[in-house]
Amino acid sequence: MEKENYEILWEQTFLPQIEKTVSNIAFVTYVEKLQPVDVKGNKIILCTESKFFADSVNDKAIGGKMKEALSKCNTYINDFEIVIAKNREDYLKQLGEEEREQLEMQGSPISPKFTFDEFIVGSSNEYAFAAAKAVAENPGDSYNPLFIYGSTGLGKTHLLMGIANYLKLHNPRLNVLYATCEQFTNQLIESISKGKGSGADFRRKYRNVDVLLIDDVQFLAKKQGVQTEFFHTFNELVLQNKQVVLTSDRPPREIEVLEERLRTRFEGGLLTDIQSPELELRIAILRKNATKQKCVIDIKVLSYIAELADCDNRTLIGKLTKVIFASKLHEKPITIDLVNEALKESAGERQEELQAEDIINCVSDFYKVSKNDVCGKRKNKEFVLPRQVSMYLILDMMALPQETVGKFFGRDHTTVIYARDKIDQRIKTDSKLAVEINDIKKMLLKQ
């Protein structure tokens, strides 16, 4: 199963910080064995089967330091509670019906990496950034709905998740739901197919929220039944002064076969676009991502890459990653000559779809599993790692849009984001996996 946001936070943010705070014995014996099962307000709920184990963790010697570590992570969670349960399923059985219904209203995982602080602002996106920040600070008061549009890879999803992360930190009592338009559609179809009370459950999930964030609403095009349901959801929320934020790759008037009543409502709030990054912003993006990858690059070389790569943010970062990897692989300093060699601009690059196919085939061969299992739905352990590695490498080496990568595996872009973050975190501590990924990259570069 794909992991919930609190599970990602626990594994990628909280555990590393707690490990720095408590003793190694306490971490290995107790903390590492706790399982996150829920979040209530500012508390993360952790489970263990043993009351003795729970009492040991709650002791001030460990519990106090855990709370101290959580508070240092700068998230909306700064406390914990331990329950006696075998796993999440056992925990859910112990809850009342009302509590279970509230859990079902949780949306897609929101990456903690996508914050306003991490968003690089320039003239091409400053208006959209300011609007998103204003909505996060005062949801429902103005700019309702906020409609952000622009080409893929320019930061629309980052702003949506930035709003969600800001609200979780500064206003955790609000019920915030993030979902893609594709998820909204699929869940609606599923509720119809189930019949009985499923439709009411679906409506309760999307209408009993304080802030609704929907990504890629252009996929409403030509789906009349879905548009009708979305119209009523949208209307009910806005009438109650609940905040709605939408993103699209085009303005409402250019979405094909969109009902006029939806079009006028989308245009009734604030429309703002994100344009392709200007040269100065591209340089700033390259500089920040070079720093993240612990790589010092001369400003002249960064400027050269920025001038060479007049593209969206995601592709730009992908090109930088190729250059850094080529530098490490060949043990050469990053110069303009190396940039030209790594990007192979003069020879032209292969088609993106073919490259993605090559990566999936290479990973499948390396781990000795079939391509169908890597791209399929089976969640066996031996298939999940190759699948996540494939997603990570496609993003890392090609900088394809996350939505495009997801289509290779029959999944949405939130799953791709999770896979990328998961592998990125693991290779920092798992030397075996880091070597494996490096070997696969070498094999691909030799093809």
Tokens of 317: 């970062």
Give residue 434's pLDDT. 85
Residues 431-435: what's their mean pLDDT? Answer: 86
The tens digit of pLDDT for each residue in 343-381 reads: 774 334 443 444 688 899 999 999 999 988 899 888 788
Give residue 352's pLDDT. 41
Q: CA torsion 328→430→395→129, rounded to 10°?
A: -100
Rounded CA-CA distance 29/44 in Å is 20
Nearest to 386 by CA among 404, 354, 408: 408
DSSP string, 312-346: -HHHHHHHHHHHHHHHHHHT----HHHHHHHHTTT
Amino acid of residue 430? D
pLDDT-derived band at 126, boundaries 50, 70, 90: very high
Confidence check: pLDDT of 103 > 90: no
- Crossing angle of helices 381-398 and 413-426, rounded to 10°: 90
Give residue 201's pLDDT. 80
Q: Which residue has the higher pLDDT, 186 or 287?
A: 287
Nearest to 186 by CA among 406, 5, 401, 353: 406
pTM of structure: 0.61
Of 243-247, 248-252, 322-326, which has the strongest mean pLDDT?
A: 243-247
User: Using CB atoms within 10 A of its CB, is residue 38 exposed (0-12), middle (13-18) or buried (19+)?
Assistant: buried
Nearest to 419 by CA among 341, 342, 349, 360: 360
Strands across the sheet containing 35-40? 35-40, 43-48, 79-84
Rounded CA-CA distance 416/403 in Å is 8
Q: What is the mean pLDDT of the chain?
A: 84
Give residue 127's pLDDT. 95
How many helices, marked H, and strands, marked E, lie in the chain?
23, 8
pLDDT-derived band at 198, boundaries 50, 70, 90: low
Tell me whether the omega of the peptide bond preceding residue 401 falls within 30 degrees of 0, making it cis.
Answer: no
The set of long-range contacts for 130-133, using a CB threshold of 8 Å and a minimum separation of 24, is: 131/270, 131/272, 132/159, 132/160, 132/162, 132/163, 132/245, 133/162, 133/166
Give residue 353's pLDDT. 40
Tokens of 406: 């997801």
Q: How many CA atoms lie within 13 A of 208 on its CB side?
A: 12
Do the beta carbons of residue 57 and residue 23 sit within 8 Å? no
Query: What are the residues facing 45 on neighbouring strands?
Result: 38, 81
- Crossing angle of helices 313-330 and 336-343, rounded to 10°: 110
Do the beta carbons of residue 339 and residue 305 sit within 8 Å? yes
Q: 319: Cβ–Cβ under 8 A, 6 or more apart, which residues?
A: 305, 308, 309, 311, 343, 399
Nearest to 78 by CA among 15, 14, 22, 136: 14
Confidence check: pLDDT of 321 > 80: yes
CA 340-341-342 angle, 5° bins: 95
Least confident interval from 77-81, 84-88, 198-202: 198-202
pLDDT-derived band at 441, boundaries 50, 70, 90: confident
Nearest to 294 by CA among 252, 328, 267, 318: 328
Give residue 210's pLDDT. 93
Rounded CA-CA distance 376/387 in Å is 9
Q: Which domains does the chain carry? A: 5-103 (3.30.300.180), 126-273 (3.40.50.300), 279-343 (1.10.8.60), 352-446 (1.10.1750.10)
Give residue 349's pLDDT. 44
